[in-house]
């Protein structure tokens, strides 16, 4: 495995672990409250701006993945879309780059 692929994989793992490191204490304190999570996303202008930045980025990455997968026929790379929406862009994008750069 090339150094670049290892870097993408390391970033995907870090992008999954580091945000959850911060999210899980909030979940332990507030429970699995979707209403509370949405309220936290809109707690102030900075949080709302970051929320929309990440949503737009997730949609853009997903469209890019779909466009490339339809051409390259690398169906396994579609795993990056659920990773993007259920974990975050910080995991989904490097995961896609890792899957995309595999030897053909």
Task: Give 100's DSSP letter.
Answer: H
DSSP state letters, 61-96: HHHHHHHHHHHH--GGGGGHHHHHHHT-HHHHHHHH
Q: How does pLDDT run across 41-83, given as a tens digit for each residue?
A: 888 999 999 999 999 999 999 999 999 999 999 899 999 999 9
Write down the pLDDT at residue 81. Answer: 97
Q: Looking at residue 90, what is its pLDDT?
A: 96
CA atoms of 8 and 15, how far apart (whole Å):
10
Q: Residue 32 has what DSSP assignment?
A: S
Mean pLDDT, the chain, integer: 93
């Amino acid at each position: 495995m090339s150094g670049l692929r290892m870097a993408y994989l390391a970033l995907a793992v870090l992008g999954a672990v580091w945000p959850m490191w911060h999210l899980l204490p909030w979940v332990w304190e507030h429970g699995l409250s979707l209403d509370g999570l949405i309220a936290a996303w809109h707690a102030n202008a900075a949080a709302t701006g970051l929320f929309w930045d990440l949503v737009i980025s997730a949609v853009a990455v997903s469209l890019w993945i779909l466009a490339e997968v339809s051409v390259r026929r690398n169906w396994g790379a579609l795993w990056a879309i659920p990773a993007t929406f259920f974990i975050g862009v910080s995991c989904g994008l490097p995961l896609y780059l890792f899957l995309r750069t595999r030897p053909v």
